[in-house]
Amino acid sequence: DPGADASLCGMAATGASGTNAVRYGTMRPNVLNLRVVLPDGRLLHTAGPGRQPRSRAAGYDLTSLFVGSEGTLGFLTQATLRLHPLPEATAVTIASFPSVGAAVACTVQVLQAAVPVARIGECPQPEVGVRVPVVEPNTASSHAEFLDEVMADACGRFSGMGLPVAATLLLELHGSRRSLDEQQQQTEEIVRQNGGSGLAWAEGQEERERLWSMRHNAWYAALALRPGCQGYSTDVCVPISRLPDVVVETKQDLQASNITGPMVGHVGDGNFHCILIFNSQDPEEAQRIHAFTQRLGRRALAAGGTCTGEHGVGLGKRALLQEELGPEGLDTLRSIKAALDPHNLMNPGKVL
């Protein structure tokens, strides 16, 4: 489920997630083979030319090595991907909550109740948003996206849909007609228990696409909050059990720092994003943005998570990567980099 300007090999290069990750997994388990141009010009097929096994135990897992490598080990030029069958029935709904904490707590409870959500996430408002993937079920699935009240307001105005200015969950269920009815009843009960309201299920393709189009335009909706300013998107991923606390603390940090940072997330897998809108010509504001991103990364690490769930390390999170992996982990990464790219040609200075 590529984002606004994503490519498939680009998503593989960063180990990206997406709105369908709860049910169908992130890029990593969905990439069966990669064609890679190595730094010395040789062409590598990571699982062997023309091969696409669902599982393999033949040597090192080269495909997984290059998924998430951020262009530091080679150019990804072709990806062989898993295909999933279309579900018999699909239903989407939007639910509004009295607080960000209530919306994320609802997500956690939906997952803990083993509701086979295909997509589940919060819709961001002009300030905060969360994105979460769910556990893959055997016969049915659902999805939920999270938007904080700022992001929900921004998305609603940008798309002309007029969402309530409240923390919002966008949920999608997949399955047979019979299983879908049961999932809807169970989901509605959990939503109500967490103070959610506004449930109305959309099952027609056109209406479902309109709802998800609103979510996919979250980046542009956030930029529209401060015309002429720059957007900076950062993400972290934490264990589902810690997600409500980390999201609430992050929201409070954004408000205390006076930062416009709508939150959106594939909260089903504990991954959420802050879209930080700031004036790049204002050094003081730019410094506040940098300080916030470092606090966010360390908050995720303290919760047992990672400094980035899918955006990658790049330049900005190299110090956080060292804190996350420790010296042994970083030395191992450097050894792999030196073995494949001894002249440091591929994305020099990035990640390591």
CATH of the domain at 22: 3.30.465.10
In-domain check, residue 69: yes
Do 73 and 93 belong to one domain? no
pLDDT at position 136 is: 29
**CB < 8 Å & 24+ apart, contacts of 291-299:** 291/257, 292/253, 292/254, 292/257, 292/259, 292/261, 293/232, 293/234, 293/317, 294/319, 294/320, 295/253, 296/234, 296/236, 296/250, 296/253, 297/234, 297/236, 298/323, 299/236, 299/246, 299/249, 299/250, 299/253
The count of structural domains within the chain is 2
pLDDT band, residue 1 (cuts 50/70/90): low
Distant-in-sequence, close-in-space partners of 150: CB < 8 Å, separation ≥ 6: 124, 125, 126, 127, 128, 129, 225, 260, 261, 262, 263
Question: If we measure between CA atoms, which residue out of 109, 167, 134 comes closest to residue 271?
Answer: 134
Q: What is the mean pLDDT of residues 307-324?
A: 94
**How far is residue 21's CA from residue 3's CA, in Å, rounded to a whole number?**
13
Do 151 and 254 belong to one domain? yes
Do 59 and 100 belong to one domain? no
In-domain check, residue 188: yes
Do 263 and 150 belong to one domain? yes
pLDDT at position 310 is: 87
Distant-in-sequence, close-in-space partners of 287: CB < 8 Å, separation ≥ 6: none
**How far is residue 120's CA from residue 107's CA, in Å, rounded to a whole number?**
7
Do 192 and 172 belong to one domain? yes
Do 145 and 196 belong to one domain? yes
What one-letter code names the amino acid at 147? L
Which has more pLDDT, 80 or 157? 80
Mean pLDDT of the chain: 87
Q: Per residue in 331-347, pLDDT tens?
A: 999 999 999 999 999 99
In-domain check, residue 214: yes
- Answer yes or no: is pLDDT of 272 > 80: yes
Instruction: Kindly report which listed range (72-81, 120-129, 251-260) carries the lowest average pLDDT score.
Output: 120-129
- Answer yes or no: is pLDDT of 44 > 90: yes
Do 179 and 262 belong to one domain? yes
**How far is residue 207's CA from residue 108's CA, in Å, rounded to a whole number?**
26
Do 73 and 94 belong to one domain? no
Is beta strand 75-81 parallel, antiparallel or unpaired with respect to 89-97? unpaired
Do 76 and 95 belong to one domain? no
pLDDT at position 62 is: 97
- What are the two backbone dihedrals, phi and then psi, of residue 112, each rounded to the nearest 5 degrees? -65, -25
pTM of the entire structure? 0.86
Q: Which of 30, 60, 81 is the last residue of a domain?
A: 81
Do 102 and 172 belong to one domain? yes
- Answer yes or no: is pLDDT of 119 > 70: no
In-domain check, residue 323: no
Q: What residue numbers bound the domain in which 44 lies?
A: 8-81
In-domain check, residue 309: no
CATH number at residue 180: 3.40.462.10
Q: What is the mean pLDDT of residues 249-275?
A: 91
In-domain check, residue 177: yes
SS3 content of the chain, % helix, strand, coil (to 5): 40, 20, 40
**How far is residue 297's CA from residue 247's CA, in Å, rounded to a whole number?**
12
In-domain check, residue 274: yes
Q: Which of 271, 288, 303 is the last residue of a domain?
A: 303
Q: Which of 303, 324, 339 is the last residue of a domain?
A: 303
In-domain check, residue 314: no
Do 296 and 150 belong to one domain? yes
Which has more pLDDT, 155 or 317? 317
Do 150 and 219 belong to one domain? yes
